[in-house]
């Protein structure tokens, strides 16, 4: 391309993103005012459209898969990209689940009367326009679009470019759902260009987009947080810890460590580090390592852990801050709950951390001292999930402290307004 | 200065801001864990220190005032800067009020049991480290520092450079209060340099500072929002509207317009624009203009308003988006509540807007249709205030939708965590 062509293409993308954001903003007001039944109707119609369009969606996905083959992408990447009839059905069922849940909008969160007779209510309202930036998992198009619709927000979806055909076919079904419920179809828009410049342009529309939710790997999220002029709900990786206290039940500690690491290694709530109290280490660590090694998990550890069990290979400083997302775990011997808390707050990502102990006081020290969105006592970190919390579908787990922390579902994609009802009061 | 000196000075400021942010982070954990009584004790001791140090505070303020005289700053600026014995006492009393209010930390906001026996609680926690950037009003040092302390947050205060002596004397009293309660004195730190580069350095400490609250004029806030890599709670200006509906009580409409504009013109909840329904305009507008003119308020209006009342001078397009903070108001004739809502959402700043009407259905249309943090029915916009809401002292009124909207007091300077208590559950 000549310099002039590049410039023209950049201008085109900027203009296109501006148009998309304006259309979203225009759609956001009718969506914000839509009642619960209308939104549920749109979600059910979208689910029906996904079922009706199964063939077209799978065909579109076939194009994406073929291109992925040509580009020799990894097997894990292709697995995330691939759709099957079961996965298509799961998207449709997911939208129906969202439709069935209580409406998050218009809830009176608090209400009180002032001495002067003013009645003040705090009422949940949509955020407005939400930009979702994600990688090549086509199902996120349905999940994220559905949660935005449920919460009365207009969604701008920017999926990974390798999944464009699939996402386009799915987004069309969501728009069909909106049309059938007489809601503006631009309540869900998919960014149609593969050019990465589109993300940068999206992050500049701070007068039209209210919030950005990035969902993906560390580099994507860090780039978005760096470049965005729009507030971001951060979903950093989960470096989750299990602390086995001196007063832990040995069997429970083994079960929780094994489950927290190995049930599924690829989710953000999987444990990456075990901290074990020195008083318990010699007796307990070999049994814990037994379980892990038997499950084909590599165990890395500090000098003390290596000395106790020679199957433990050396850990470096980097291990304490690595999200393996794989069958690898790091182990460190610590001096009680205080050192455990220090380790977690220093090396963790404020995601999910658990203590195993039968000492209630020690447990409370851990629960209040660890500065994470989710803290647990005698439970596996793998429960860090909106569904497991009973909150329904989620976009992810927020590791930031602002606005939403922990699982981000439809309830968290809301703001509130104060409604003040008077009888002519003026302020003295 | 030579280029080398400038560079050295910049490096020094960067190093100093890093040190301040690190000290705040270190202080934030003990503060987060402090119980309600200890924090109240610190606030009361700070109030006592302010009273004991009245002479020193007024002397420090004398230095700032003398410098302000030399620089020929405006009378309004000097009034905001000036401290008197009454104003010093008001700061001390304000801290005691904050001490007396319920503790915002450790509240169980929600709690439920899952079918697998996991008990989940959502509990309020501090945000961590809060950076407050404000102009030369020394009382903000006490108010903002006190609210951060109450909510268990470490505060980094960056006041206007013209108030540095005054703010330093006040901040010392807050630190004295922390010491007396055996809390870390770096829970409150004042940035000690006048150099504006300090603000830029502060906005870069995103690994140590959790949130930035800018408080001041539009240019300060826009600069902070533009430059900050840390999430910002925005306090934009208040372009507040009174909509006089066709079904308004004429006397109530007059009272509310006059109060909303003229009670105090310099606060963010003061009305800047009156919208009046066409059906009512001819009859009502002259009486409203009577009141305003009699109160020495300039009335600017659209062509229709000018035609109805010749005391109305022409408004330009800029008037609809100007926060006068003065005895000036703009008037526009609109075609019912729909056009009123459109005008407010287009030209307003999502702050506070009110409708005057006896028609409940029209009122509800306005309350749900206007996208502002505070919406009112038959009440003056001047009630937009944390104290008037019964929420206690506030840092300001947030016009953003993320995290906190409307009055931002100690309750809004919090986040939450999920605490999960189990009996050894692992995820199937």
CATH number of the domain encompassing residue B76: 3.40.605.10
| Distance between B34 CA and the closest CA of chain A, angstroms | 11
Residue A357 contacts by C-beta under 8 Å, 6 or more apart in sequence? Answer: A245, A246, A247, A248, A337, A363, A366, A377, A378
State whether A165 and A47 are in the same domain.
yes
State whether A258 and A138 are in the same domain.
no
State whether A165 and A41 are in the same domain.
yes
A263 interface with B at CB cutoff 8 Å:
yes
Q: Which residues of B touch A382 (CB under 8 A)?
A: 426-427
Please judge whether B415 and A405 are an interchain contact, meaning their C-beta atoms are less than 8 angstroms apart. yes
Q: Which tokens go with B238?
A: 């208040």
pLDDT (0 to 100) of residue B223:
87
CB A403 within 8 A of CB B402: yes
Nearest CA in chain A to B415: A401
From the list A232, A260, A376, which residue is nearest B420 (CB)?
Answer: A376
A26 interface with B at CB cutoff 8 Å:
no
A419 interface with B at CB cutoff 8 Å:
yes
Query: What confidence tens digit (pLDDT) does each residue in A241-290 have?
Result: 999 999 999 999 999 999 999 999 988 999 999 999 999 999 999 999 99
Nearest CA in chain B to A418: B374
Please judge whether A33 and B418 are an interchain contact, meaning their C-beta atoms are less than 8 angstroms apart. no
Domain count, chain A: 2
| Distance between B368 CA and the closest CA of chain A, angstroms | 7
Give CA B176 to chain center in angstroms. Answer: 26
Of A306, A245, A242, give the one whose Cα is nearest residue A272. A242
Of A387, A391, A389, A350, give the one whose Cα is nearest residue A371. A350
**Residue contacts between A and B (CB atoms, under 8 Å):** 184
For residue A183, the enclosing domain spans 11-235+407-419
Question: Has residue A424 been placed in a domain?
Answer: no
Q: Which residues pair with B122 in a beta bridge?
A: B110, B418
Longest C-alpha distance within chain A, in Å? 79
> The sheet that has B328-334: what strands, in order across it?
A108-113, A119-126, A414-425, B374-379, B352-356, B240-244, B271-277, B328-334, B298-301, B313-314
pLDDT (0 to 100) of residue B6:
58
- State phi, psi for A240 to the nearest 5 degrees: -100, 145
Q: Which residues of B touch A343 (CB under 8 A)?
A: none
CB B417 within 8 A of CB A374: yes
State whether A313 and A342 are in the same domain.
yes
Q: Which tokens go with A87?
A: 């996965």
A 350-379 residues with CB < 8 A to B: 354, 363, 367-369, 371-379
Q: Which tokens go with A398?
A: 């927020």
Residue B355 contacts by C-beta under 8 Å, 6 or more apart in sequence? Answer: B242, B243, B245, B337, B340, B362, B363, B366, B367, B376, B377, B378
State whether A218 and A295 are in the same domain.
no
pLDDT (0 to 100) of residue A4:
56
d(CA A246, CA B423): 17
Question: Has residue A206 been placed in a domain?
Answer: yes
Please judge whether B369 and A415 are an interchain contact, meaning their C-beta atoms are less than 8 angstroms apart. no
- Which 3 state secondary structure label does DSSP give A294? helix
pLDDT (0 to 100) of residue A56:
98
DSSP for B101-168, please give it: SPP-SS-EEEEEE-TTS-EEEEEEEE-SEEEEEE-S-HHHHHHHHHHHHHTT-EEEEE--GGGHHHHH
Question: Has residue B265 been placed in a domain?
Answer: yes
Please judge whether A389 and B226 are an interchain contact, meaning their C-beta atoms are less than 8 angstroms apart. no
State whether A223 and A357 are in the same domain.
no
State whether A371 and A228 are in the same domain.
no
Q: In Å, what is the CA distance from A416 to each residue of A303, B4, B78, B213, B376?
A: 52, 51, 37, 19, 14
Residue B70: other Cβ atoms inside 10 A: 8
CB A18 within 8 A of CB A205: yes
Q: Which residues of B touch A211 (CB under 8 A)?
A: 401-402
- Which 3 state secondary structure label does DSSP give B185? helix
Question: Has residue B324 been placed in a domain?
Answer: yes
Q: Which residues of B touch A375 (CB under 8 A)?
A: 417-420
**ipTM score for this prediction:** 0.93
A 29-88 residues with CB < 8 A to B: 29, 32-33
Q: Which residues pair with A130 in a beta bridge?
A: A155, A211
Question: Has residue B403 been placed in a domain?
Answer: no
Question: Has residue A202 been placed in a domain?
Answer: yes
Please judge whether B372 and A210 are an interchain contact, meaning their C-beta atoms are less than 8 angstroms apart. no
Nearest CA in chain B to A424: B378
C-alpha angle B152-B172-A369 in degrees, rounded to nearest 5: 20
- Which 3 state secondary structure label does DSSP give A115? coil
From the list B373, B388, B425, which residue is nearest A379 (CB)?
Answer: B425
| Distance between A52 CA and the closest CA of chain B, angstroms | 33
Residue A301 is part of a domain; what is its CATH number?
3.40.309.10
* Secondary structure E strands in A216-270: 240-244
Please judge whether A375 and B420 are an interchain contact, meaning their C-beta atoms are less than 8 angstroms apart. yes
| Distance between A414 CA and the closest CA of chain B, angstroms | 9
DSSP for B89-105, please give it: HHHHHHHHHHHHSPP-S
State whether A177 and A298 are in the same domain.
no
pTM metric for this prediction? 0.92
A390 interface with B at CB cutoff 8 Å:
yes
| Distance between A231 CA and the closest CA of chain B, angstroms | 7
State whether B209 and B323 are in the same domain.
no
Question: Has residue B84 been placed in a domain?
Answer: yes
Q: Which residues of B touch A425 (CB under 8 A)?
A: 378-380, 383
Question: Has residue B278 been placed in a domain?
Answer: yes
Name which residue leads in pLDDT, A139 or A10: A139
Which parts of A243-300 fold into alpha helices (H)? 250-262, 278-294
| Distance between B392 CA and the closest CA of chain A, angstroms | 13
Any idea which residue has 């005691």 for tokens? B96
Query: What confidence tens digit (pLDDT) does each residue in A203-250 have?
Result: 999 889 999 999 887 888 888 888 888 888 877 789 999 999 999 999
State whether A115 and A52 are in the same domain.
yes
Any idea which residue has 């929002």 for tokens? B225
Could you list the pLDDT tens digit for every one of the 428 residues in chain B?
A: 455 555 667 789 999 999 999 999 999 999 999 999 999 999 999 999 999 999 999 999 999 999 998 888 888 888 889 999 999 999 999 999 999 999 999 999 999 999 999 999 999 999 999 999 998 899 999 999 999 999 999 999 999 999 999 999 999 999 999 999 999 999 999 999 888 899 999 999 988 999 999 988 788 888 888 888 888 887 778 999 999 999 999 999 999 999 999 999 988 999 999 999 999 999 999 999 999 999 999 999 999 999 999 999 999 999 999 999 899 999 999 999 999 999 999 999 999 999 999 999 999 999 999 999 999 999 999 999 999 999 988 998 999 898 999 999 999 999 999 999 999 999 99
- Which 3 state secondary structure label does DSSP give B236? coil
Longest C-alpha distance within chain B, in Å? 79
State whether A211 and A73 are in the same domain.
yes
Which of A372, A379, A397 to mutate against chain B (most B CBs within 10 Å)?
Answer: A379
State whether A276 and A178 are in the same domain.
no
């Amino acid at each position: 391309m000549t310099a002039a062509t590049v410039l023209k293409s950049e201008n085109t993308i900027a203009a296109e993103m501006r148009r998309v954001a304006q259309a979203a903003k225009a759609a956001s007001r009718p969506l914000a005012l839509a009642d619960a039944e209308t939104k549920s109707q749109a979600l059910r119609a979208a689910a029906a459209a996904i079922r009706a369009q199964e063939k077209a969606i799978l065909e579109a996905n076939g194009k994406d898969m073929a291109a992925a083959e040509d580009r020799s992408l990894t097997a894990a990447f292709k697995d995330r990209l691939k759709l099957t009839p079961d996965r298509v059905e799961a998207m449709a069922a997911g939208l129906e689940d969202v439709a069935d849940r209580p409406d998050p909008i218009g809830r009176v969160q608090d209400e009180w009367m002032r001495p002067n007779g003013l009645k003040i209510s705090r009422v949940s309202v949509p955020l407005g326009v939400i930009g979702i930036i994600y990688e090549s998992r086509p199902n996120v198009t349905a999940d994220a679009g559905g949660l935005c619709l449920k919460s009365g927000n207009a969604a701008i979806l920017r999926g990974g470019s390798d999944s464009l055909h699939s996402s386009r076919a799915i987004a069309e079904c969501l728009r069909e759902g909106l049309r059938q419920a007489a809601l503006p179809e631009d309540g869900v828009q998919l960014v149609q260009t593969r050019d990465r410049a589109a993300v940068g342009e999206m992050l500049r529309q701070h007068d039209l987009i209210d919030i950005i939710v990035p969902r993906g790997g560390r580099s994507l999220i860090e780039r978005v947080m760096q470049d965005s002029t729009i507030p971001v709900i951060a979903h950093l990786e989960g470096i989750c810890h299990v602390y086995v206290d001196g007063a832990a039940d040995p069997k429970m500690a083994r079960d929780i460590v094994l489950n927290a690491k190995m049930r599924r290694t690829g989710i953000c709530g999987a444990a990456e580090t075990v901290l074990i109290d020195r008083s318990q280490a010699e007796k307990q660590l070999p049994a814990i390592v037994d379980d892990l090694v038997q499950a084909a998990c590599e165990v890395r550890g500090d000098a003390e852990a290596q000395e106790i069990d020679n199957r433990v290979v050396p850990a470096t400083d980097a291990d304490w801050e690595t999200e393996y997302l794989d069958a690898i775990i790091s182990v460190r011997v610590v001096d009680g709950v205080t050192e455990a808390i220090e380790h977690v707050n220093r090396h963790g990502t404020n995601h999910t951390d658990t203590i195993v102990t039968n000492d209630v006081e020690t447990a409370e020290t851990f629960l209040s001292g660890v500065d994470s969105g989710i803290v647990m006592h005698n439970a596996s970190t793998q429960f860090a999930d909106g569904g497991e919390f009973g909150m329904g579908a989620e976009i992810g787990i927020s590791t930031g402290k602002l606005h939403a922390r922990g699982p981000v579902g439809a309830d968290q994609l809301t703001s509130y307004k104060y409604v003040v009802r008077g009888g002519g009061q003026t302020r003295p």
